Amino acid sequence: MDEPLLRELTPAVIGVLVRRGADFATAEDAVQEALLAATLTWPGEPPSDPKGWLVTVAWRKFLDGRRAEAARRGREQRAETEPPPGPAETTDDTLQLFFLCAHPSLTPASAVALTLRAVGGLTTRQIAQAYLVPEATMAQRISRAKRTVSHVRFGAAGDLATVRRVLYLIFNEGYTGDVDLAAEAIRLTRQLSSMTGNAETAGLLALMLLHHARRPARTRPDGSLVPLAEQDRSRWDTRLIAEGVTILQTALARDKIGEFQAQAAIAALHADAPRAVETDWVQIVSWYDELLRLTGSPVVQLNRAVAIGEADGAAAGLAALATVDPTLPRRTAAAAYLHEKAGDLPAAAQLYAEAARSAPNLPERHHLTRQAARIRQTLRG
């Protein structure tokens, strides 16, 4: 059973149905039913033209649905004629679906869910598992999202920036359930990037590849976190790094800088260092300067302070940290790190313990608690 192929064909098949006059919400449901039918029948009888098969079955499901609805209303059944296929603008249709599913009228959670289903071809159950919510809740979220975009004309101009934001959210969500959301986000971003040839979208793809490359080294078998400096870099995926760097360089050469390209440049500089001590922190700081100029984000300010601590010493890092909003998540953890680096172990232990209490997830809490414990052990001698 070729699930990747099915998922890849999903948006194109929805596109065909919409071009034949189906509304998006009904077309999407019909295609999901066709995907289900494919998983049942393809293992026994693989079709010679998978896309044609899906279009035929989805269209039949669509007509069945419409007939059932017409019958419910007690009207005459419509003639069952299959119109000729519309123009084969697959790439365009898929791009239109990206725009529709990330439409600015949707909340981020709804846009993520709708994108994963209509563009990604995932089932509602898979999406629900990935986001740890009941399937009925996710089904409701998706159908509300479809209603929200029902007024949007298929083919209306879309905003690439909102699509990128949605794909970034999917990538960043983590790895729960049996669907690898990071890999799925990479697949969709790759597709988007090849369709648009846009520098920032390429930057986002490079960023994802460079971070995904570190995944084997980022957690221990027991699920605990390994900080960047302590990761076994021989376990980084060099193929993904090479691809990410190449994509990034091509994007940067176009001289249309954006935040994802800047973030990818920082990730690439980490990837370039065979050992943590060989990291080019001076260049990293200059990329953080660029990123701060582009975004003005306090999170960037925080990361920049840590990078300054590496480039110019802990005192400079602490000075940069002093200007960061004290209520920002993870600021205390950064302060702990810089205090330890400055040799102030009692303050570092205190701050690590405090940071552990406000950590946003258990692996981070455990990591920070261990740091506090490690320093206190040193202090006890």
Partner 1 sequence: MAKYLLLKHYRGAPEAVNSIPMDRWTPQEVQDHIQYMNDFAARLESSGEWVDGQALSPEGTFVRYDGEGRPPVTDGPFAETKDLIAGWMVIDVDSYERAVALAGELSAAPGAGGKPIHEWLELRPFLTEPPTVTE
Q: Does 360 bind partner 1 (CB under 8 A)?
A: yes
Q: Determine if 129 is a binding residue for partner 1 (CB under 8 A).
A: no
Closest to partner 1 by CB, 197 or 346: 346
Minimum distance of partner 1 from residue 370's CB (angstroms): 5
Among 223, 326, 343, 381, binds partner 1 (CB under 8 A): 223
Q: Does 49 bind partner 1 (CB under 8 A)?
A: no
> Smallest distance, Å, CB 350 to partner 1?
9
CB of 352 to partner 1, least distance (A): 7
CA–CA distance, 36 with 288 (Å, rounded to integer): 47
Give yes or no for residue 134 binding partner 1 (CB under 8 A): no
Told to check if 147 binds partner 1 by CB under 8 A, we report no
Pair 28, 11: CB distance under 8 Å: no
222 binds partner 1 (CB under 8 A): yes
- Rounded distance between C-alpha atoms, residue 113 and residue 124, angstroms: 8
**Residue 330 within binding range of partner 1, rule CB under 8 A:** no
Among 165, 218, 330, 374, which residue interacts with partner 1 (rule: CB under 8 A)?
374
Q: How would you class 144 by CB atoms within 10 Å of its CB: exposed for 0-12, middle for 13-18, buried for 19 or more? A: middle
- In whole angstroms, what is the distance from residue 316 CA to residue 293 CA? 20
Shortest approach of partner 1 to residue 361 CB, angstroms? 9
Q: Are 351 and 318 in contact (CB under 8 A)?
A: no
Terminal C-alpha separation, the chain:
60
Q: Which residues of 219-238 are buried (b: 16+ CB within 10 A; e: fewer)?
A: eeeeeebeeeeebeeeebbe
Q: What is the closest distance, in whole angstroms, from the C-beta atom of residue 297 to partner 1 in the complex?
A: 22
Residues that bind partner 1 (CB under 8 A): 222-224, 349, 352-353, 356-358, 360, 362, 365-366, 369-370, 372-374, 376-377
